[in-house]
C-alpha cells in the first residue's frame, strides 16, 4: 500500500501527449495529482514516464530508457521523497516485465518497486506491494 503523505510519489507509465485516461495513468491523475498534457516528470504526488508516443504507439526501448534514466537521476537527488514505482510500461504498452524492470537497475534507496518485478531485480531493491493496492 502506498502511504498517503507529501513525501510519497506514484511513478507511472505515460504517453508523450500526457493523456492520462486509463490504467495507472488514470489513477495518477485521479489520486496523485498528475495533470493532463504533462507527459513527463514530477507533478503533484506523481511522476510520469512515457512509454508511448503522442499517437499512443509504444516507444522504442532506447527512448524509454532515456526517460527512465532521467527519472533515476531525479529520484537520486530527492532523498526526502519516496518513489513508489508501478510496473511501468507493462500494462497498456505491453512491454515485457523483464525488459522494463532492467531499465530501473541502479535505482537509489528511495525507490520502491512493484513486487511483480522482484524476479527481475532481486532482493537488492525495496518493494511496496503491487499496483492493485494503489487503487484501493
Query: Does residue 80 belong to any structural domain of this protein?
Result: yes
- What pLDDT sits at residue 7? 94
- What pLDDT sits at residue 60? 96
What the block records as the C-alpha cell of 114 is 512493484
CATH number at residue 84: 3.40.220.10
- What pLDDT sits at residue 136? 43
In 1-136, the DSSP E strands lie at 8-15, 41-43, 46-52, 82-85, 111-114, 126-129
Query: Does residue 93 belong to any structural domain of this protein?
Result: yes
Query: Does residue 49 belong to any structural domain of this protein?
Result: yes
Q: Per-residue pLDDT for the chain (136 aa), expressed as one digit of tens each?
A: 788 888 999 999 999 999 999 999 999 999 999 999 999 999 999 999 999 999 999 999 999 999 999 999 999 999 999 999 999 999 888 999 999 999 999 999 999 999 999 999 999 999 999 986 454 4
Domain that holds residue 127: 8-134
Considering only CA atoms, which of 122, 109, 67 is closest in space to residue 89? 67
Query: Does residue 3 belong to any structural domain of this protein?
Result: no
Query: Does residue 100 belong to any structural domain of this protein?
Result: yes
SS3 content of the chain, % helix, strand, coil (to 5): 35, 25, 45
Per the structure, how many domains does the chain have? 1
Residues in the chain, how many?
Answer: 136
Amino acid at each position: 500500500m502506498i502511504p498517503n503523505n507529501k513525501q510519497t510519489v506514484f511513478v507511472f507509465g505515460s504517453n508523450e501527449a500526457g493523456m492520462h485516461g486509463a490504467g495507472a495513468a488514470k489513477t495518477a491523475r485521479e489520486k496523485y495529482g498528475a495533470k493532463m498534457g504533462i507527459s513527463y516528470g514530477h507533478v503533484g504526488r506523481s511522476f510520469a514516464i512515457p512509454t508511448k508516443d503522442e499517437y499512443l504507439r509504444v516507444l522504442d526501448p532506447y527512448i524509454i530508457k532515456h526517460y527512465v534514466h532521467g527519472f533515476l537521476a531525479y529520484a537520486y537527488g530527492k532523498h526526502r521523497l519516496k518513489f513508489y514505482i508501478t510496473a511501468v510500461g507493462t500494462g497498456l504498452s505491453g512491454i515485457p516485465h523483464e525488459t522494463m524492470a532492467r531499465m530501473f537497475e541502479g535505482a537509489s534507496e528511495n525507490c520502491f518497486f512493484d513486487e511483480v518485478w522482484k524476479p527481475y531485480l532481486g532482493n537488492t531493491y525495496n518493494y511496496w506491494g503491487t499496483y492493485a493496492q494503489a487503487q484501493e
